[in-house]
Amino acid sequence: MAQILVVTTENIPGKNYEVIGEVFGLTTQSKNVVKNIGAGLKSVIGGEIKAFTELMSETRDTAVDRLRQNAAAMGADAVVMMRYDTDSIDAGMETVTAYGTAVKFVD
């Protein structure tokens, strides 16, 4: 799969394109029980809960990878107006959706 350009802007400077359609990538992930217990203890004393920061970063990256796969399957060159939605399903379980508009470059 060629690298699909993903931007949060409406326009890509110097590029003309036609809209193909909506694309998204979705994932739900959780950390293991040991990390959840450690995170619970950290919440008592305060500070960054690195296990959850890592969880959100991994989940976001997976959602964007799946967005790129969806766009490539549609024949897109790029995705514009990419956004994220997140939701906590349960303690230590996060869902991230990356979505945007797939486009094909034209001359």
Helices (H), 1-107: 33-45, 50-73
Measuring CA to CA, how many Å separate 90 from each of 9, 51, 76, 87? 32, 15, 35, 9
Count how many domains the chain has: 1
pTM for the complete prediction? 0.80
CA 60 from centre of chain = 4
Q: Give the tens place of pLDDT for each residue, 22-48.
A: 999 999 988 665 555 555 555 556 677
Q: Give the tens place of pLDDT for each residue, 71-101.
A: 999 999 999 999 999 888 776 678 899 999 9
Rounded Cα gap, residues 92 and 79, in angstroms: 30
**CATH classification at residue 32:** 3.30.110.70
Pairing of strands 5-6, 78-90: parallel
Domain of residue 86: give its range: 5-106
